[in-house]
Amino acid sequence: MPFVVLLFASILIQLVIAGGTGPGGPGLASIPDKYNKGWWNKTYSPIAPQQVHLSWLSDGTAARLQFATTEKVDRVQLIYWPLYHNNETTLLEEPEQAGPFIDPGPAKRIQYLYNFRTKDLAPSTRFQYKVGAFKDDISLWSDIYEFHTPDSTDNFQFIAAADMGIVNAVSMPILKQLARQNEYDFLAMMGDQAYDLADMDGTKGDEYLNFAQEVYAQMPVLTTPGNHEKHYNFTHYKRRFNHLPFNESDSPTPMLYSFDYKSMHLVSFSTEAYFSNDTNELQTALQWLEQDLKRANAMRHKRPWLVIMGHRPLYCTPRNDKDCSWKADLLRHGLLSADNTTRTTLGMEELFIKYKVDLYLCGHKHGYERSFPIAGNKKMADQYHNTPSYFQVITGNAGNYDGPDPADITTLREEWSAKFYPGYGLTFVSVSPTGLNVSHWESRIDGKRGVQIDNVVVTKDLML
């Protein structure tokens, strides 16, 4: 490759790392960099399985996965087995769903998506699996991937992240390493993946899911939509993530679902409904959310922790930013009437307080910020035992083309802001029946895990 081309690519990458505008953003092609090494941009055989990604059903009793081919095939298979027990294979040949996905863009590009649900899985077990596609006399198989089912204890750990693209995905090397270690039960990804899934007739979405495949195929991923998934009314998100447990949640769409896991009830809610210009859509989402929270509250003796994840924050720094002022106000308190005098819908915070939500996880802002227990734009407590209200964690700093949000750590913050960090990182949550341990760790620009940035232990008296 000519020296000038190499130099230009190097300058572009450094601009991205510094937080400038560069390749990989909306409408722009992604380029290789030191964080996205691998085969994400290779040309697959038309019948080769690709874009493998895994999700849980409640309590990890079964897994559901999706993969794609770019050409219609005669049949597909999922084979899985307990680690070191290759003679105990389970073969599935009938996917739950299979069919074409036609990108709504001008090229009407077609690919084929296949969803499989495993049979009920034994707990405390590491499984390996692969998927295959067959056409005529040709069969092609994915790599072999590995995941683990929940153990028999009351405790578990998961990772929370948001706002990650293909370029400048600083945290991806760390996530790949963690996915291989089988220590974390799932990844919660709070929106804005790929920047954007629909770009280039959907080929950027393909590239992103192949880029993330080493993680998403081994660590079940539970996602929520962000503003960058909005194209064609979120069509790419709804099709590429329709293996999420929304049917099991009595939800009409993958934009909304919930999930039980040991002592936690996790809800995924689309904050984008507040900005859809469709009041009916928002009212439907809020009605579903309230019914789900009612059911969850009735089971607090079994699952005391109630956690909601969405894309946009209800509070953030700096307060004069549009996302932290009027947009956050709409999310907290609901849409306003035309004359700005009354609220025409519920706000998220009203439901959070009513149903005693413990934690709201979100992204959108490309940094990390943790609040004290909060309500009505006020700090409600200094400590986190039997808190009087929920607290919020923004963890939108996994790494993307735009870098961290420009921020001065000396910026005057509101009293409710307990910790503010403008660099790259990942959030880790440990859950037990009486405690949440939430920590945030730096993702260094060399692609390695750095120092602990924040840690808070949340406790509550056990409900009998």
Q: CA-to-CA distance for 57 and 66, rounded, in angstroms?
A: 14
Q: CA-to-CA distance for 140 and 135, rounded, in angstroms?
A: 9
Nearest to 237 by CA among 264, 262, 274, 208: 208
So what's the pLDDT on residue 13?
37
Q: CA-to-CA distance for 204 and 193, rounded, in angstroms?
A: 10
Q: CA-to-CA distance for 306 and 358, rounded, in angstroms?
A: 5
The string of DSSP letters for 42-111 reads S---TTS-EEEEEEEPGGGSSEEEEEEESS--SEEEEEEEETT-TTS-EEE---SEEEEEE-SSTT--EE
Residues with Cβ within 8 Å of residue 129, at least 6 apart in sequence = 65, 78, 79, 80, 81, 144, 145, 146, 147
Q: What angle in degrees, to the nearest 10, is found between the helix axes of 231-240 and 203-211? A: 40
Coil, helix or strand at residue 355? coil
131 DSSP β-pair partners: 78
Residues with Cβ within 8 Å of residue 191, at least 6 apart in sequence = 162, 163, 223, 224, 225, 226, 227, 228, 229, 310, 311, 363, 364
Coil, helix or strand at residue 345? coil
Q: Sketch the domain layout of the chain as residue ranges.
A: 50-147, 153-459
So what's the pLDDT on residue 372?
98
**What is the CATH topology of the domain spanning 50-147?**
Immunoglobulin-like (2.60.40)
Cβ(396)–Cβ(367) under 8 Å?
yes
Tokens linked to 58? 């409640």
Nearest to 297 by CA among 235, 245, 351, 225: 351
* Cβ burial, residue 122 (10 Å; 0-12/13-18/19+): exposed
Map tokens 């290759």 to a residue. Answer: 86
Cβ(178)–Cβ(159) under 8 Å?
yes
Coil, helix or strand at residue 135? strand
Map tokens 């232990």 to a residue. Answer: 457
> Which CATH entry fits the domain spanning 153-459: 3.40.50.150, 3.60.21.10, 3.40.50.2300, 3.40.50.300?
3.60.21.10
Sheet of 63-69: strand order equals: 50-56, 63-69, 110-117, 97-102
Residues with Cβ within 8 Å of residue 25, at least 6 apart in sequence = 165, 167, 195, 401, 402
Q: What's the average pLDDT block by block, 10 residues per block, for the chain (464 residues)? A: 36 36 89 91 95 97 98 98 94 97 97 98 97 97 98 97 97 97 97 97 97 98 98 97 98 97 98 94 97 97 97 94 96 94 95 98 97 97 96 98 81 90 97 97 96 98 73
Coil, helix or strand at residue 123? coil
Side-chain-side CA neighbours of residue 30 (13 Å): 35
So what's the pLDDT on residue 215?
98
So what's the pLDDT on residue 462?
78
Cβ(161)–Cβ(112) under 8 Å?
no
The type of residue at 146 is: E
So what's the pLDDT on residue 2?
40
